[in-house]
Structures are given as C-alpha cells and as structure tokens.
Amino acid sequence: MNNNGLPGRRFFSYSIIIVLIMFAYLTAQYWKALLSPLAPFPGSGEVSVFIPENTSCAAISQMLYGRGLVRGPAVVSIYARLHKVDQRLKPGRYLFSRGQSAPEMVGALVTGPPDLIVFTVPEGYSLSQLTDLMAQKGITVRENFKSSLERFQMQNNGVIKKIPPGRGLEGYLFPDTYHIGSRTSDEQVIRMMLERFESQIKTLDYERKARERSLTLHQAVTIASMIEGEAAVDEERPLISGVIHNRLRLGMPLQIDATVKYALGGQPKKIYYKDLEVDSPYNTYRLAGLPPGPINSPGEASLKAALEPAQTDYLYYVARPDGTHAFASSLEGHNENRKKYQGDSY
C-alpha cells in the first residue's frame, strides 16, 4: 500500500488553515482600520456647534473635525454618504459630547438640533472673558464672536448710539442666564444681551438718575463696572461707590485696582507696585477722573450702587484677607489698615 501522498495532503491542509487564519486576521485589521475613524475620542466635555443654513455635508464634516470631535476631516462626510443621508443633515446649534461616535453625530444631525441651549454670563465679566466663555462652552468660535462684536459696534440704534465712538460694547452686554435657540446666530446673542441691558436700565430709570448726578449713561456704567470689579459683597457696593464719588468731587485719582488689571490686559489675581505705572488711559492711579469706559459688565446691584453711593467721608479702602474691605477717611487711617491687613505691601 502506497502512503506517499499523505504528508502532501497534511501540508496542504495546514497551508489552508494558515491562509484562513491570515485572511481572518487581515479582515479584522481591515475592519478595524475602516471603523476606527468612527470611534469616539477619549475624554469628556461638551462642545456646541452652530451649523448655518445651506452648509454642505463636506463643510459640516470639516467643522466637526476642526472642533476636535471626529478623527478625520472627511469621516462624517464619508459615513453620511455611505448611508445616503448626506442631504438630510439639518442646520442649527448642536451640543455634542466628546464621547460620541461619528455615527451618533450623524444621527443627531439627521434628527435635527435641540430646541434650547442655556448659558450664564457671570457679573463682572469683561468682553474678553465673555468671548472666552462662549468659546469654551462651544457656543461660538472665538474669532467669529469677536467679528460679530465689531460689526455690532458699527450700528447706530438703541443703546449703541449712546456709547461714545470707538468705545465698543464693553459693559453693555448684561450678565444673566440666557436661553438661546438652536439656530441663534452670534449677532442674535449679542442683540439679546444688549436688549437685556436696555430693559434693566429702563426698569431702574437709570438715565434720569444719572442726569440728576450730572453723569451720562456711559459714565454711570463705567462707575458701576469699577464697583463690580472691586466689591466682594453686596453690602460694600454703596461704600465703594461713595469713595469713587468723593474722589471725583475732590479731583483725586480714583486708584481703582480693577482698572489696572484691565489695563494689563487680563485679570491677574494680584498686582504689584510696578503694575501701577502701566501706560494706559485705564490706569486710574496715574490719571484723575473716570477711565474711558466700563471695564466689565456690571450686574444690577453695582448699577444701582453707582447712582446710590453711601453718604460717607471715606476716601480709601483696603482689602482684607477674606475679600471684604476696611474703609478710611484719611491717608493715616488707610495706612494703618494697610499695615494691619496687607503688611503694607501688595
């Protein structure tokens, strides 16, 4: 009996098994490579994305990639076309999670955006901080919002026409909680915040009260913004307002630390003697009178305090460690407070 063909058949069988294993491995790698771009990014956090009307599927895909939500610029576009939904993606404002996969995002885009997005602007935020907040929450793109602010400043209606030329909207976008629709544009958000400010000053009868103190609306809001930047507790707002009004009446430099921080281009937690020499029209240590305009968006309490100062003879105040202030009517008393609470140094 001839068994010479048995080893050959075994070799052939082993070869088939090896080929099948390799095929299975390569198939698995192929599908892994094909599907990996669809997998979500690791991490957490939500990103709001506004998709204008008539935005193409390819542009949406690029947009999501640019916001760090998908792994490639064409991932969403390819997936949507493969599933024949690329013409069904709806415009509007979406809130995506960094843990969502590309298919989940496409599904959301086909379904359409949610009805409302809620965000809160804290009292005392500058335009720079507001822009950062909007960008961090994904409500807008930083440069887009800046451009919208610049365009809005060119208008000449409502409260804008009462702002001195070249002073922008600093101080006039009211800090509050806002509910915006999914298709709300940056310009509409700005208009909403301006209208909230106008409503507030109308309720407070603000312009009439400002005129009674020989102040323009812009000057009153500027004072309110300094109070907002300095006060840690509501009870001190009228006292700080009183110091500002007393110094203005006497022609003294206001020496408001918050204006120096604004002049430095940010919100440093601490300022030093060298900072008091910064060359800026907002440096109220070097220049007497009011700065050119508001340094932040004051809330209702500070707006009220600006026109309802406490009737005291205080001219100075110094911060205690808990953020409240010790007030004094003389330089001698002020220096004693500084030594007591700050060790006579910044």
Identify the domain boundary among 203, 230, 261. 203
Cα 300–304–310 angle (5° rounding)? Answer: 140
Whether residue 129 sits in one domain with residue 241: no
Closest by CA to 112, choosing from 131, 94, 132, is 94
Residue 6 maps to a domain: no
pLDDT tens for each residue of 256-287: 999 999 999 876 677 888 988 899 999 999 99
Domain assignment present for residue 124? The answer is: yes
CA 288 – CA 98 distance, rounded (Å): 50
Instruction: Tell me what pLDDT residue 119 has.
Output: 87
User: Looking at 66, 91, 114, which one is the last position of a domain?
Assistant: 114
Cβ-based burial of 199 (10 A; exposed 0-12, middle 13-18, buried ≥19): exposed
- How many secondary structure helices (H) and strands (E) does the chain include? 13, 6
Quick one: CA dihedral 249, 254, 258, 260, positive or negative? Answer: positive
Contact 315, 329 (CB under 8 A): yes
- 53, 129: one domain: no
204: left (phi over 0), alpha (psi -120 to 50) or beta: alpha
Place of tokens 């990103």: 47
Same domain, 244 and 286: yes
| 141 in any annotated domain | yes
The Cα–Cα gap between 341 and 267 comes to 22
Q: Are residues 182 and 271 in the same domain?
A: no
Q: Residues 321, 253: one domain?
A: yes
| Structural domain count, the chain | 3
Whether 165 maps to a domain, the answer reads yes
User: Are residues 110 and 121 both part of a single domain?
Assistant: no
* β-pairing verdict for 92-97 and 316-319: unpaired
- How distant is the alpha carbon of residue 134 from its chain centre? 4
Q: Flag whether pLDDT at 31 surpasses 80.
A: no
Same domain? 186 vs 266: no
Expressed as residue numbers, the domain containing 181 is 117-203
Over residues 174-198, mean pLDDT: 88
Same domain, 61 and 172: no
* pLDDT value of residue 139: 80
Of 229, 237, 302, nearest in space to 269 by CA: 229
Instruction: Check whether 1 has a pLDDT greater than 60.
Output: no
CATH number of the domain that residue 67 is part of: 3.30.1490.480
Calpha distance 132→191 (Å, rounded): 18
In a domain, 12, yes or no: no
Q: Does residue 35 belong to any structural domain of this protein? A: no
| Same domain assignment for residues 338 and 252 | yes
Domain termination residue (choose one: 73, 89, 114): 114
Shared domain check, 90 and 196:
no
pLDDT > 70: percent of the chain: 87
Q: How high is the mean pLDDT of the chain?
A: 86
Helix (H, G, I), strand (E, B) or coil at 181: strand
Same domain? For 199 and 242 the reply is no
- Statement: the pTM of the whole predicted model exceeds 0.75: no
Per-residue pLDDT of 133-164, as tens digits, reads 988 877 888 888 889 998 887 776 778 888 88
Kindly state whether residue 41 falls inside one of the protein's structural domains: no
| 168 and 264 part of one domain | no
Q: Comparing 10-14, 232-236, 336-340, which segment has the lowest mean pLDDT?
A: 10-14
